Amino acid sequence: MLKLSKLFILSLLLLSCTKNDEPQPDEALYFPPLSGNTWETTDAASLGWNTDQIPALYEFLEANDTRAFILLKDGKIVLENYWGQKISSTESFDENSFWYWASAGKTITATLIGIAQEEVLLNIDDPSSQYLGEGWTSLSPSQESQITIKRQLTMTTGLDYEVADLMCTEPACLQYMAPPNTQWYYHNAPYTLLDGVLENATGRSRTLYTNEKIAQKIGMNGFWSQVGYNGIYFSTPRSMARFGLMILNDGNWGETPIISDKAYLQAMTNSSQSLNPAYGYLWWLNGKTSIVYPGNPNSFSGVLAPQAPSDMIAGLGANGQILDIIPSQRLVVIRMGEAPSDGGEVPVIFHNLMWEKINEIIR
């Protein structure tokens, strides 16, 4: 959890103007082949970027235990670097290494829910008990029936966030605190149970459904693994970049639709409720008027990352797993690695400082 003092420090920055969010001329996005390591690149100097500042960005990332960093412009790789060793290996970390997404993987789940709704396998306004069975919480039947899939997607289930273990998905850990959609809290357990919603609605495991509906269609190489209560997605850094590029392209891989329900896609990447405008359907949103951070029930005035473009949408996970998408500039930014100096469920200070370094290059 973020320390309150850090939140106050960050709030002092929130009046800062965001940078680099002016619309750019349309160009055809590039999409790499579905297999192999071929991926076209663009030289930063040819874009007019300040290449003298690239070493400072890389030094900052390395000092904060980064393993992988990728920046795409118009789908092409402009910056890509790797540090450290592979997990349980003496080999160097590279584009073929696997790493965990942590809560950045919530963005995959949100996309899969949209695809399942498009296939009329579920509706996000359905009660969650329709797919999880009655008694998935310790609430009364009438209270439980008010929790919908949408409330799980938006962190507004109303379940008690003062329980001993926010990861615990057992009914005894899921207790009543408030009516749905009257409080916002970054409660991981109700999100995790979307795995059960998907599996029961689709009749497929989460890995099989991910592979069928997303991974095979965009060349993403990854898998879900159970870690404690949590289902965690592991992939190569470039696979995360592929997913970001698909979302950047309005849910399409080139001309191939991955998620055709554009109304859902728009809802997923915009404010999903008024309690925390900086949150969509499991995506973080920049440029909003206020934000509720993970680990704190209070709302703070300002934006997620003052140094980042205001239209940024982000998948953010523990220890600084970052997937940033900037529609106005057609950028995708990936950071994977160990915990930076600003750890926590969502290391917002590190995220903002990273964008400060990026701005010195792209401005």
pLDDT digits (tens, 9 = 90+) for 222-245: 999 999 999 999 999 999 999 999
Residue ranges and CATH numbers for the domains of the chain are: 4-122+193-362 (3.40.710.10)
| CA pair distance 202, 48, nearest whole angstrom | 48
CB 213 within 8 A of CB 258: yes
Instruction: Yes or no: say if 282 and 191 are a contact pair by the CB < 8 Å rule.
Output: yes
pLDDT over threshold 70, residue 17: no
Residue 277 in tokens: 């405008």
Contact 61, 83 (CB under 8 A): yes
Query: What are 6's two structure tokens?
Result: 């850090």
Q: Which helix (H) or strand (E) holds 315?
A: strand 313-317
Whole-model pTM: value is 0.92
Model confidence band, residue 341 (pLDDT cutoffs 50, 70, 90): confident
Residue 261 has pLDDT above 70, yes or no: yes
